[in-house]
A and B are shown apart, each in its own frame.
Chain A
């Protein structure tokens, strides 16, 4: 048996009816939200699913959670078919979405977990201990018997995480789990997710916080317009997009020979050059190139008689890469199939 969530050529098209229901006829327009996606989310690892707004991340997660039915293609969870074996799949998965809406506010934290434990048929003998364990995991023991309406946003989200773990899911689908949370709480949640993966849980994570994705994900899928545009580790994706290093240098004082030498360097390497002054009105040169030209630029300036007051190198980031890949996917000819 393959211990993973796997999708093969998964597609989802929402029927969009743009006329009143009493006027018969087929939907006028169909909007493809996911278009032939093949993914593999193995157990014991955090896998990222990235893309700009409207890329199809949430639709994908909701299909894997059995809340949406694929229009075509196939998805399995540990070889169980997502559609045919939906009930058994639901026992093995859980989903946590960002925001604090996914709990009952007039129940206490403990009661919420008890309620969902009943829905998931967690054995009675284990439920009490499981609830205590989860409350401790998310740091809510002290507020366990308070109504959730008195919880802060962060506490609600932590309770939501605990709810998502009540059935000891083999796979956890996280849709923007740290959305709107303060940095320390988000950091704690990331630690929980990392621990879960170490304990063998397969996690699929979507997030707009790319530092979070870089920190947690061993493998990342980038999608745009519902289609896969890239896959790899964070480092692989960063280089894949061929984004530019930015080198910015300020001189202690203007030197004519430096101007000429830097322009010659830019021309020779094909770097994009911008000249100007910095906040302290010192001459400034900015070079953009796929390679890191910091060393070469520094040597050129010093050789030409200049004195460097400040040098800053900005390497390409995963965020740059995602934007670049998504932009490339918008061009029809560049979209990966």
Chain B
């Protein structure tokens, strides 16, 4: 465990030095989600004038609530998508020839992929996280049933995101073709997870697909706990689903790492790109 913690620390440091070289990167960490939010808000604004929309979707009747709905979506999406990027970057270790050095070391493979996700998450989200908390507090858009629900919301976002990132990292570690991740997990992720639109507006098939992504349930907990003052029992359903998804993702990661390393040892593909 102690060694695993050292690996996590070292990996996070390495990732920070490799990818956050200048102040412009830090600037982009804030400007990118803010732009996403602005684009979504102003795209939806004309729809708010549709007669009767408030009855079908009460959030749409109040611009501040709508903004809070979209902001939570953008914030949570950033958590998850930063891990897609992290996995994509991790696959570049194969090109740079350093991947086999990781596997040459006695470091736990699980710790390595977890570390990569943790590092990416902390570094990509801290600034936007601070900004989101400040903005939500200032705008008075938070409605919480109990202070403990802040912790519930935070855990429902962070832990599944880490499980998701760990899984993606293990998936890409042994794949040479990482571009498919962007195709599969950029626009489709926000579409099926209800990032910009309420899930009830989606067809049943999309809703079903969305449930397979932890982002969907994370958002349900986040919005329920922070915007709709839901108590713990009110978000128990998505929390339970998140628990199941996390277990599946962790089990999937362990399996993929074992199969992937064995395959690489058999085929010699680790040094190939």
Name A's B-contacting residues (CB within 8 A): 14-15, 59, 62, 65-69, 87-88, 90-91, 94-95, 99, 101-107, 111, 114-116, 118-121, 163
Contact = CB atoms under 8 A, between A and B. Distances in A.
B184 interface: no
B268 A68 contact: yes
B106 A14 contact: no
Contact of A114 (B10, B18, B265, B268): B10
A191 to B, nearest CB: 25
Contacts, number: 78
A15 B104 contact: no
A118 B21 contact: no
23 contacts: A59-B268, A66-B104, A67-B268, A69-B266, A90-B104, A91-B106, A102-B101, A104-B18, A104-B96, A105-B96, A106-B17, A106-B21, A107-B14, A111-B13, A111-B17, A114-B10, A115-B10, A115-B14, A118-B10, A119-B7, A120-B107, A121-B3, A121-B6
Contact of A120 (B9, B106, B264): B106
A96 B9 CA distance: 25
Interface string B1-19: 0010011011001100110
A92 B3 CA distance: 16
B182 interface: no
A90 B96 CA distance: 21
Interface in B228-273: 262, 264-268, 270-271
A87 B10 CA distance: 19
A291 B160 CA distance: 77
B17 A95 contact: no
Interface in B48-80: none
A72 B149 CA distance: 57
Contacts of B267: 14-15
A103 B100 CA distance: 11
Contacts of A91: 106
B98 interface: yes
B265 A15 contact: no
Most A C-beta atoms less than 10 A away, residue of B6, B267, B268: B268
Contacts of B265: 66-69
A266 to B, nearest CB: 51
B104 A69 contact: no
Nearest to A122: B6
A91 B14 CA distance: 21
A239 B101 CA distance: 39
A25 B102 CA distance: 32
Given A106-B18, A118-B6, A121-B3, A67 B100 contact: yes
Nearest to A107: B17
Nearest to B103: A67
B2 to A, nearest CB: 8
A118 B9 contact: yes
A102 B17 contact: no
A11 to B, nearest CB: 13
Nearest to A62: B268
Given A69-B266, A104-B18, A106-B21, A121 B106 contact: yes
